[in-house]
Amino acid sequence: MATEKRVTAAALVIGNEILSGRTVDANLSYLGRRLNELGIQMREARVVADDEGAIVEAVNTLRSNYDYLFTTGGIGPTHDDISSACIAKAFGVSLVRHPDAERAIAEFTQANGRELTEARLKMADVADGASLIVNEVSAAPGFRIENVFVMAGIPKIMQAMFEAVADDLVGGAVMSSRTVTTFIPEGVLAPTLTTLQNEYADMDVGSYPFFEDGKPGVNVVLRGPEEAKLDEAVATLGERLDALGEDATRG
């Protein structure tokens, strides 16, 4: 059952292919949306290369700073899939072959008429002491160690892994949002938003500029755990926009 505490998370996207632009990450938006639905706020996301030092440093920093850390990518069968070994190193434990993971991979491989190679069995290696995250798509599991969830980079598989552990996550206050659209230029609007943020310090006030028919505008997004307070902040902002001579669309 969710509490009113704010529960936080970070995401660590691992892979040279993301940094090179060859692959477009699709996992962050999914994680951010699903975590928010569960009352967990994504507060930081990093993308790192397939580099042991970078992965270990990021894992240790993020798992210390947030309630949960979700990593994606780098747990496949190839030489550059080093995430599992790096997670083990970050925790100071050995990388071990999990018998249940090995069995699942062997059964899936046999059922699909493929050869059970050492490369495929590499995907059964997890940090010692970890529990497995079921993969209903392609059998090779992810794993969890303490507050770190290690998942695949392929979106369909990552999503299946996340849903397999979603019920185990303990959430807090669910963040709701309101959007106010105005055609006051952001530079003119900035002092008003600064004042509003100071007055409502327990919510996030974001400013997202756009152009429509060559005319500058701003979507102001307010996020917070209390519906009544959000509505109050929207009303306050609307009054100040009116004072600036601009009607706003409030959603």
Q: Are residues 113 and 223 in the same domain?
A: no
Q: Are residues 109 and 159 in the same domain?
A: yes
- Residue 244 is predicted with a pLDDT of 86
Q: Are residues 134 and 239 in the same domain?
A: no
Q: Are residues 88 and 129 in the same domain?
A: yes
What domain range is 143 assigned to?
Answer: 7-168
| 47-76 mean pLDDT | 98
Is the per-residue pLDDT at 75 higher than 80? yes
The model carries a pTM of 0.87
In single-letter form, the type of residue at position 25 comes to: D
**234: in domain:** yes
Segment (H or E) for 18 = helix 16-19
Task: Evaluate whether 95 touches 126 at the Cβ level (below 8 Å).
Answer: yes
Q: Are residues 30 and 70 in the same domain?
A: yes
Q: Are residues 238 and 185 in the same domain?
A: yes
Q: Which residues, in sequence order, are CB contacts of 170 under 8 Å at separation 6+?
A: 2, 3, 7
Task: Evaluate whether 150 touches 87 at the Cβ level (below 8 Å).
Answer: yes
Query: Residue 96 maps to which CATH number?
Result: 3.40.980.10
Please compute, for residue 195, the number of CA atoms within 13 A of its CA located in the half-sphere on the CB side: 9
**14: in domain:** yes
**2: in domain:** no
Structural Rg of the chain based on CA atoms: 22
Q: Are residues 228 and 140 in the same domain?
A: no
Q: Are residues 123 and 14 in the same domain?
A: yes
Q: Are residues 184 and 159 in the same domain?
A: no
DSSP 8-state assignment for residue 139? S
- Residue 4 is predicted with a pLDDT of 67
Q: For residue range 108-143, what is the model confidence (pLDDT) as tens digits?
A: 999 999 999 999 999 999 999 999 999 999 999 999
| 11-29 mean pLDDT | 96
Q: For residue range 158-208, what is the model confidence (pLDDT) as tens digits?
A: 999 999 999 999 999 888 999 999 999 898 999 999 999 999 998 999 999
> How many structural domains are present in the chain?
2
Domain boundary pick from 122, 138, 168: 168
Q: For the chain, give the mean pLDDT.
A: 94
Is the per-residue pLDDT at 247 higher than 90? no
Q: Are residues 112 and 198 in the same domain?
A: no
- In the chain, what percentage of residues exceed pLDDT 70? 96
Query: Residue 184 maps to which CATH number?
Result: 3.30.70.600
Q: Are residues 198 and 121 in the same domain?
A: no
- Residue 52 is predicted with a pLDDT of 98
Q: Are residues 120 and 12 in the same domain?
A: yes
Q: For residue range 102-112, what is the model confidence (pLDDT) as tens digits?
A: 999 999 999 99
Is the per-residue pLDDT at 1 higher than 60? no
